[in-house]
A and B are shown apart, each in its own frame.
Chain A
Amino acid sequence: MFRNNYDNDSVTFSPQGRIFQVEYAAEAVKQGSVVVGIASKTHAVLVAIKRNAEELSSYQKKLFPIDEHVGIAIAGLTSDARVLSNFMKQQCLGHRLTYGRNMPVRTLVEMIGSKAQINTQHYGKRPYGVGLLVAGVDDQGPHLFEFQPSGMTEEMVAFAIGARSQMARTYLEKNIDAFRGCSREELIRHGLRALKESLVQDRELTVDNTSVGVVGAVKADDGTTKVEPFRVFDGQEVTAWIESVADDKEGGAGEGEGMEVDS
């Protein structure tokens, strides 16, 4: 009876000037489990909550290495993320082959931005149903980028996307001034604390559901900057980090401020 007439394709505006297919795609991102990214002067980290479809199944991966110097965290449709991830891997490899250097992170992110935007302007196409956090280093240092299905990309100091990510963002906003000077370990702990904020009441971080990805630009003794390649830590490797943020109230966002939560 009250069917929306303006959401059949991604090329038609509603009379209010909205494109519903793109907004629905943004909703798909909010269905995905939460991922958090933070960048400091020396490192960029991605942390994520993995979900298992059922008790008997394994956990769906959330963090993916793209190239030596770049990794992504995904929230939304995993199969759409695979397309973008393959594309990014190919572009990085192609750039390495033709220029013999790491692809600048901004260039890479702008490429997927343009690719995704095209899908919002052609009849018969649909936007990607996935949001990404892209962490990487180049000669300019570490970077964190947000990517949205609309094709929007933005460089961030810290960000969170996915289910209940508003809680994590609030934590990040409260601590934003601390991140730039953080060490690698401090940065990971900040990420995990932000992640904890977004968990539902009786869930907690475990070795099974937590992923940590780190990439860095480390100053060597001779003054040159070297890339610490993007690496994903899963399972037992994250035990120490999870324990280090267990039940510490320090730095936690004030609970129950009646915040708006996407569900």
Chain B
Amino acid sequence: MDHRPQAWGRPRDDIYGAYDASYLQTSGPKTATQSPVVTGTSVIAIKFKDGIVMAADNLASYGSLARFTDVKRLRTFLDTSVVGFGGDVSDMQFLDRHLKELAIDEAYEHNDDQQQQDDDDSHHKSTPGTALNAANLHKYLQKLMYRRRNDFDPLWNQILVGGLDAARKPFLASVDLRGTAFTSPSLATGFGAALAQPIMRRYAATDEDAARLTREQAVDVVKECMKVLFYRDARSLDRYSIAVVTKDGVELSEDEQLERQSWAFAERIRGYGTQTV
């Protein structure tokens, strides 16, 4: 009798013949995403006096190939928040479907409350609906991303969530494929963290600074950053989406073109290409 642990629970070889081990495993261990395939580059966002501005270009790269040039990487949630995705595009699409489902459930659950509110007097009119706000959404995404990381099957994205929190104050936060979450008056993912973040910090280093920014200033800063990113990030595009979230809702424009580009600086760059210093 074979008492080795490997034989436990298996039919005995001396009675049933050799065990066909091919039933146990098909082809090696289970694998999950170990690197992103089609990717989006930076997402940048900044807070201002009464909301946030977020932008991301419309490119999905396949490695270094600019494969898809009309990919919308900013998604709205319930017309109150906006979610910007960097990283793997298929995981973004998965998350987008998931969030749409969540938004439908949310809207459905609170629909009849809304009716009740309408024939009600004004008591609760001023308070926001029970529906998930940006802070709630960010918390949820953080739990989702961390859960997937713990399953060793991460969603390969870095995500920015912008909108308003429960106190109707501007809210901006980030979560990445490990579930790491933080907030800041300005945020950028990918290359933007190195190239755009220092520029945005000149205008909004603290929440107090951000509270002094007007909407126009914030939009200008973000557009300027998108330009710098296009100059210096080889995986970027001059067509981009920009979203402005205030208490009036989300204004999303998905077909913006970079304006007033100046490549004059490129002449002075040395050390690349064919020229010999």
Give chain A's interface residues, CB within 8 Å of chain B: 41, 97-101, 104, 106-107, 138-141, 223-225
Q: Mark B236-276, 1 if CB is under 8 A from A, else 0.
A: 00000000000000000000000000000000000000000
Q: Which residue of B lies closest to A110 (CB)?
A: B109
Q: Which residue of A lies closest to B105 (CB)?
A: A107
Question: What is the CA–CA distance of A41 and B125 in the complex, to the nearest angstrom?
Answer: 12
CB-CB under 8 A from B63, the residues of chain A are: none
Asked if B136 contacts A106 (CB within 8 A), the reply is no
CB-CB under 8 A from A225, the residues of chain B are: 124, 127
- Interchain nearest-CB distance for A9 vs B (Å): 33
Checking B124, B127, B130 against A104 with a beta-carbon cut-off of 8 angstroms, the contacting residue is B130
A-B contact pairs, 17 of them (CB 8 A): A41-B123, A97-B143, A98-B139, A99-B132, A99-B139, A99-B140, A104-B109, A104-B110, A138-B130, A139-B128, A140-B116, A140-B117, A140-B129, A141-B124, A223-B126, A225-B124, A225-B127
Q: Which residue of A lies closest to B132 (CB)?
A: A99
Do most interface residues of chain B lie in helix, strand or loop, or is the interface mixed?
helix
- What 9 A-B pairs are tightest by C-beta distance, nearest first? A100-B139, A139-B130, A99-B136, A140-B113, A104-B130, A98-B143, A141-B124, A101-B136, A225-B127
* Number of residues of chain B lying within 8 A (CB) of chain A: 20
- Interchain nearest-CB distance for A67 vs B (Å): 15
Question: What is the CA–CA distance of A217 and B130 in the complex, to the nearest angstrom?
Answer: 14
CB-CB under 8 A from A99, the residues of chain B are: 132, 136, 139-140
By CB atoms of chain B within 10 A, which of A100, A138, A223, A224 has the most?
A: A100
- Additional pairs, 9, CB under 8 Å, beyond known A100-B136, A100-B139, A104-B130: A41-B123, A99-B132, A99-B139, A99-B140, A107-B109, A138-B130, A139-B129, A140-B116, A224-B167
Asked if A141 contacts B123 (CB within 8 A), the reply is yes
Q: Which residue of A lies closest to B137 (CB)?
A: A99
Checking A97, A100, A140 against B130 with a beta-carbon cut-off of 8 angstroms, the contacting residue is A140
Asked if B113 contacts A106 (CB within 8 A), the reply is yes
CB-CB under 8 A from A223, the residues of chain B are: 126
Asked if B92 is at the interface (CB within 8 A of a chain A CB), the reply is no
By CB atoms of chain A within 10 A, which of B109, B110, B113, B143 has the most?
A: B113
Question: What is the CA–CA distance of A99 and B134 in the complex, to the nearest angstrom?
Answer: 10
Asked if B172 is at the interface (CB within 8 A of a chain A CB), the reply is no
Question: What is the CA–CA distance of A123 and B24 in the complex, to the nearest angstrom?
Answer: 37
Asked if B60 is at the interface (CB within 8 A of a chain A CB), the reply is no
CB-CB under 8 A from B129, the residues of chain A are: 139-140
CB-CB under 8 A from B107, the residues of chain A are: none
Asked if B78 is at the interface (CB within 8 A of a chain A CB), the reply is no
Question: What is the CA–CA distance of A62 and B135 in the complex, to the nearest angstrom?
Answer: 36
Q: Give chain B interface residues in 94-112, CB to chain A under 8 Å.
A: 109-110
